Amino acid sequence: MRMTEIFKQHNPAFSFEFFPPRSRAASERLFRTVAELVPLEAHAVSVTYGAGGTTKERTHELVTRIREDTSFTVVPHLTCVGAGRDETARILDLYVDHGIENIMALRGDPPQNGQAGGETTTAEPATPGQKNPHEAFPYAADLVSFIRKRYPQMGIGVAGFPEGHPQTPNRLAEIEYLKAKVDAGADYICTQLFFDNRDFYDFRERCEIAGIRVPIVAGIMPITTRKGMARMADLAAGSRFPARLLRALERAESDEYVENVGVHWATEQVLDLIDVGVDGVHFYTLNRSDATRRIYDNLGVSSAGRLSRASA
């Protein structure tokens, strides 16, 4: 189902994100995770694309397997970096043949030190020189335009950064660039992770002022370990860790308690987002089910059915 339909039918819409596993064992673990998350009734799941397109085949395999094995609406991510027009069309044709109706269109970042990446939707540490004129699609807006013209039926999501993209010094221009993606044909925006909902609400308001009228989905990633948190800080450069959250994490005696704090914090964020009438909540699962399931438990529900009401 196209994401625009999903937003019409569910308010908020819930989605989960996975990254392509690197080994057969990791792939089997991921499919256990997917099976554990099925009862939570996400309205869509997305699959990341490694930095510089490094997980092209693995992303495709995972997308088609989830599509075949589950009833989830699957949204593959696709990036511009290193992608030619013919190769991009080949990938999109393949998705269309497999009944995929939505794409998350991103610029992506070049791989760092040969790293395959793909574990996260978040920006790689700042890379100097944003625009490469030799790229077929220098910015995500160019990719959106290409998809919209060639695949008019395809649902298209794009990335938004409530606290600013780490490579954009001009915050006013940044919202203009975001609007360019929507004007080029994007149907919705999914945000980078954030820990303070006020940043998200301010971002929504700035979008509204700029005339951006598409659904904006809030990206939520619970902290589960200290090591994971350090990695998040690297990858989601620009995302702020509020002092109150840091103080609570500092008190935690072990990683088990760190996860309790992280899940509690994310639960509060989701509760508030639902109350305020957010269009969608996107959980960065890191291919694990426990934290997302615990958040649902804390919200007092076993599936999304009682969290989202049918939209008007």
Interface residue list for ligand FAD (CB under 6 A): 48-49, 51, 77, 79, 104, 106-109, 121-123, 130, 139-141, 159, 165, 167-168, 174, 177, 181, 190, 192, 219
Nearer to ligand FAD, 226 or 231 (CB): 231
Cβ proximity to ligand FAD, 138 vs 242, nearer residue: 138
Residue 157 backbone phi and psi in degrees, to 5: -105, 155
Q: How many residues does the chain have?
A: 312
- Residue closer to ligand FAD by CB (options 5, 183) is 183
Distance CA 79, CA 61 (A): 17
310/102 Cα distance (integer angstroms): 21
Smallest separation, CB 255 to ligand FAD (Å): 26
Catalytic residue among 5, 17, 41, 253: 17
What DSSP state is assigned to residue 162? T
Min CB(254)–ligand FAD separation in Å:
31
Active-site annotation holds for 17: yes
Least separation in angstroms between CB 260 and ligand FAD: 26
Least Å from the CB of residue 77 to ligand FAD: 3
What is the distance, to the nearest Å, from the Cα of residue 74 to the centroid of all Cα atoms in its chain?
A: 12
Reported as type and span, the H/E element at residue 140 is helix 140-150
DSSP string, 45-93: EEE---GGGTTHHHHHHHHHHHHHHS---EEEEEE-TT--HHHHHHHHH
- What φ, ψ does residue 89 adopt, rounded to 5°? -65, -35
Nearer to ligand FAD, 159 or 291 (CB): 159
Angle at 31 between CA 112 and CA 191, to 5 degrees: 50
Catalytic positions, please?
A: 17
